[in-house]
Amino acid sequence: MNIITGGVTAAKGFKAAGLSVGIKNKTDKKDMAMVYSEKPCTTAGTFTTNKVSAAPVKWDRDIVYNSPFSQAVVINSGVANACTGKEGLDACKKEAETVSAKLNIPVDSVLVASTGVIGMQLPMDKICEGINRLPDYLEATKQAGTTAAEAIMTTDTVSKEVAVTVDISGKEVTVGGMCKGAGMIHPNMATMLCFITSDANIDKSVLQKMTSEIVDDSFNMISVDGDTSTNDTALVMANGMAGNDIITDGSEDYNKFYEALNYVFTELSKKIAGDGEGCTCLFEAQVINAKSKQTAKVLAKSIVTSNLTKAAIFGHDANWGRILCAMGYSGADFDPEKVDIYFESEAGKLKIVEDGKATDYSEDVATQILSKNPVTAIADVKDGSAAATAWGCDLTFDYIKINADYRS
């Protein structure tokens, strides 16, 4: 596998575009994006677990699970089209019909996505204007992919893209993606939109199986603020243009493609966690030597979702008791008197807890380690061989500032 620069346009046959149509109040920031494949795509997806799911989530679930293929996705930022009733669903249909007419593809091959303020209806005059304009800007260039990634941002401070290539049955297969997400990020799928494209030839059921498994270990292992969004969507579109033999379950090609897809999902997840609203630091929690993977996952997620721990990371304070406390209320079964805890960053690695008690560590060294970005906390529970990693960020004053005035 080779890591390359790029995003949704890295794979063969994919084009993208982004522009501003004035959805975001008082700004000229880009607020609409489109991704289009020259060929129909095998499609997989995962969606929010929030019972209050947005209209685009309902539309896309139907396309992913019931349509033979997809070929385009149109995204807007600024308005979430959530809690909008029948009018919201009608808006999704209107978007798909407009894309269908403009690109000459079936209505049921069009995916839609929205992110932004909940409870507002989409400004359909602006949305339709954008859909009619976007195809004129579609390009297969890296810059076009970046422009699309910028257009889906809300409180994100940077666009987020990842791409890799991998050899599959003698053919170069590319996997690339973009995502957005900065607030309302919490396991199981958070305010996060993710779009991954590939030129792989792959069986639909296999792609869905891979996507569901990988999301559980990537996007479902990040947290910024503990709020689960109404709009979470992760879509994978594969158009087969690499010309590889079809990827089926259990083959060597399966494992190679799984590794590539897993890398893209995981790196995008870390980019979201590291760009949490107001954050200054990506915070990673590794739990090792647990009795089961599920135990390790529960413990790791509890650490990164602890507001007291997140605040300590912001203050560069080695307040390890908060980590052990978060592990204790997680509901997972472990022996606190066997736990070792380490802090690690580019400044070094330091054991601060051994068998549930503080070591004679240097506070100055701990502060130096915690002053770098990213920071990792490692909890060795010494109860087995399973491991899991979760990602979050520090909790800062700016998080409150951003969310106290989000609609302005």
Q: For the residues of 98-147, what is the DSSP string, one character each? A: HHHHHHT--GGGEEEEEEEETTPPP-HHHHHHHHHHGGGG-B-SHHHHHH
* Cβ neighbours around 209 below 10 Å, total: 15
Which of left, alpha, beta for 78 (phi over 0: left; psi -120 to 50: alpha)? left
pLDDT value at residue 403 = 59
Write out the two tokens for 102. 């403009």
CB 186 within 8 Å of CB 223: yes
pLDDT value at residue 232 = 78
- pLDDT by residue (tens digit) across 322-374? 999 999 999 999 999 999 999 999 999 999 999 999 999 999 999 999 999 99
388, β-bridge pairs = 287
Is pLDDT at 186 greater than 50 in this prediction? Answer: no
- pLDDT by residue (tens digit) across 118-177? 888 999 999 999 999 999 999 999 999 999 999 998 777 788 999 999 999 999 999 999
- pLDDT by residue (tens digit) across 244-293? 999 999 888 999 999 999 999 999 988 887 776 667 888 999 999 999 99
Q: Where are the domains of the chain?
A: 2-273, 282-404
- CA distance linking residue 334 with residue 348, whole number of Å: 27
* Cβ neighbours around 153 below 10 Å, total: 26
- CA distance linking residue 369 with residue 285, whole number of Å: 15
Which CATH number applies to 2-273?
Answer: 3.60.70.12
pLDDT value at residue 260 = 98
H-helix or E-strand spanning residue 238 = strand 233-238
Give CA 298 to chain center in angstroms.
Answer: 19
Size of the chain, expressed as the number of residues it contains: 408
pLDDT value at residue 267 = 94
Residue at token pair 């940077």: 158
Which of 42, 191, 389, 396 is an active site residue? 191
CATH architecture, range 282-404: Roll (3.10)
H-helix or E-strand spanning residue 399 = helix 397-404
CB 255 within 8 Å of CB 214: no
Write out the two tokens for 334. 């472990």
With CA atoms as reference, report the closest residue to 284 among 273, 297, 268: 273
With CA atoms as reference, report the closest residue to 116 among 34, 229, 194: 229
Provide the percentage of residues in the chain whose pLDDT is more than 90: 74
Give CA 175 to chain center in angstroms.
Answer: 15
**DSSP state, 337?**
G
pLDDT value at residue 404 = 63
Active site residue 191: yes
User: Minimum mean pLDDT among 43-52, 284-293, 310-319, 374-383: which range?
Assistant: 43-52
* Cβ neighbours around 322 below 10 Å, total: 19
Q: Which long-range contacts (CB under 8 A, 24 or more apart) does 333-338 make?
A: 333/291, 333/295, 334/290, 334/291, 334/295, 334/299, 334/381, 334/383, 335/381, 335/382, 335/383, 338/381, 338/382, 338/383
pLDDT band at 185 (very low <50, low <70, confident <90, very high): very low
